A and B are shown apart, each in its own frame.
Chain A
Amino acid sequence: MQKHAPPAPAAVRPLWVIVLSAGLIVAIAMGLRQVMGLYLPPMTKELGIGREPFSNAMAIANLIWGIGAVFAGMIADRQGAGRVVVGGTLATMAGLYLMYSAQSGFDLMISGVLLGIGVSGTGVPCLVGAVGRAAPPDKRTAAIASLGMASGIGGFVAFPYTHLLMEYAGWKASLLVLLATTAVVMPLAWPLAGKPNAGAGMIDTQSLGGAIKEAFTHPSYLLLVAGFYVCGFHVAFYGVHLPAFVADNGLDGGVAVAALTMVGLANLAGTYIAGQSGRWIEKRRGLSLIYFGRCFVFLGLLFLPITPVTIITLSTVLGFLWLSTVPLTSSLVATFFGTRWMSMLFGVVFLSHQVGSFTGLWMAGYLYDQTKSYDAMWWISIALGLFAAAIHWPIKERPVARLAAAPA
């Protein structure tokens, strides 16, 4: 049975307009999200509240982001990404204003909740469905990779700019500038507006419950969820603890800055390559190789002499393997189940990533306190990398029977 519906704005706009709009939204949203840590010292000092309330607010924001991505994706898949982006933008603006006018730790908590909701509605997981639906299957991975690159660029650019802004305008005024910058996202939601139109027969009329049941009984999807946990574990641990590792080895802090900068730059190239890789390698194999490759980086940090050259070189290699997982993982979700519930189902995968991030950060701190060394964490990272490489290999990269049986 064919369902006919008037095309939504997103359905009639050129693909590049949708990718460009979604990319700008993601760049701004991820940039804002990344700079929040900069406000820790001035805010805690001015409000006299200690670091815990601020840290709690940011932890709440991350937690809500992970959980909210599932629900934001669900709404975006049903109602269209445009509304979710507008809602997320309003929540972000409210969160930033509350941060600006905060008088207590409780205000910061509420701000964290709003910022978490905001990034749920404007981040990669929410928009991956809109782009995935707009792109033809052969261009889907590359189109999603553009979102990943935009996310990387946003984070890369936002940090030094905000740092400069805070120095010259003060932290309070800089928050107002960020608030105004966020407002730019509103008109960018227009090309993504409108309900995703249904396509042919059962492909597009699948219910929410049916999609959830189908996904959670699909072995390859569950392997993907487990594998993305490892991605979160690796990137959070490395990104946050590298400076401490560098300092422990008696190197200048500038080495960590250079290394993380190289991670950010190589990440852009790696994500682009991953987006193009569908032409010569299956996505599941690409993912296996990425996780396997990360193991060599961690082995290098264990066994090579730790010098500035080693750290920067290994960080560059790791950068190539950083978020190149995103386009491959999200495209696999579409390969399995189609694009009807893509944002929601990728949101579940992303939640696993966030749990991995949390675990990586917590475990690194705990084990370091116990052993005064990161060696155990490197070994755990290697073991998890091998585990992820192994579980991606047997993934069956084909649509579920429901899609395979549907008329073209």
Chain B
Amino acid sequence: METHSQLGQTGKRREAMPAAVRRAVFAGVGLALAAALYLIAVRGDALLVDLSALGRIFCF
């Protein structure tokens, strides 16, 4: 029986994402990012109020 780490090491696991799923993921992420950018653009003034919080967005 092949174990977990062996599967990882030999690369026999099915790895590639099906094309349909990939398209859906890209579409979903693209839509979410575009909407977020739009919101940031149109609500810039409101966001400024919370600029200190915005500064923490990208801190890991």
Contact = CB atoms under 8 A, between A and B. Distances in A.
Interface of A: 3-8, 10-11, 14-16, 20, 34-35, 37-38, 40-41, 124, 133-139, 151-153, 155-157, 159-161, 163-164, 167, 196-200, 203-204, 231-232, 235-236, 239-243, 253-254, 256-257, 260-261, 263-265, 267, 322-323, 326, 338-340, 353, 357, 408
B55 A241 contact: yes
B52 A198 contact: no
Would you list the 7 A-B pairs with minimal beta carbon distance, nearest first?
A37-B53, A160-B39, A199-B5, A11-B4, A197-B4, A136-B11, A16-B17
A208 B11 CA distance: 27
Interface string B21-60: 1000100010011011101100110111111111111111
B16 interface: yes
B6 A235 contact: no
Contact of A136 (B8, B44, B60): B8
Contacts of A153: 29, 32-33
Contact of B4 (A7, A156, A235, A239): A7
Given A153-B33, A199-B6, A163 B52 contact: no
B19 to A, nearest CB: 11
9 contacts: A133-B5, A137-B8, A156-B57, A163-B46, A199-B9, A240-B55, A257-B54, A260-B57, A338-B5
Nearest to B50: A38
A77 B34 CA distance: 36
Nearest to A151: B60
B14 A14 contact: yes
A230 B57 CA distance: 18
Given A136-B8, A159-B57, A16 B32 contact: no
B56 A37 contact: yes
B23 to A, nearest CB: 13
A107 to B, nearest CB: 21
Interface of B: 1-11, 13-18, 21, 25, 29, 32-33, 35-37, 39-40, 43-44, 46-60
Given A20-B17, A257-B40, A257-B51, A133 B4 contact: yes
Contact of B59 (A8, A261, A338, A357): A357
Nearest to A166: B50
Contacts, number: 172
Contact of A161 (B4, B39, B48): B39
B27 to A, nearest CB: 14
A199 B35 CA distance: 45
Contact of B58 (A200, A254, A264): A264
Nearest to A123: B60
A164 B51 CA distance: 15
A161 to B, nearest CB: 7
Given A16-B16, A199-B5, A163 B58 contact: no
A243 B37 CA distance: 19
Contacts of B57: 34, 155-156, 159, 239, 260, 264
B35 to A, nearest CB: 8
Contacts of A20: 17, 21, 25
A137 to B, nearest CB: 7
B47 A257 contact: yes
Given A16-B15, A322-B58, A136 B10 contact: yes
B29 A14 contact: no
Contacts of A323: 60
Contacts of B46: 163, 167
B6 to A, nearest CB: 5
Nearest to A19: B17
A302 B37 CA distance: 29
A138 B13 CA distance: 13
Nearest to B56: A37
Given A133-B8, A135-B8, A240-B52, A197 B3 contact: yes
Nearest to B31: A157
Contacts of B4: 7-8, 10-11, 133-134, 196-199
Contacts of A16: 14-18, 21
B11 A138 contact: yes
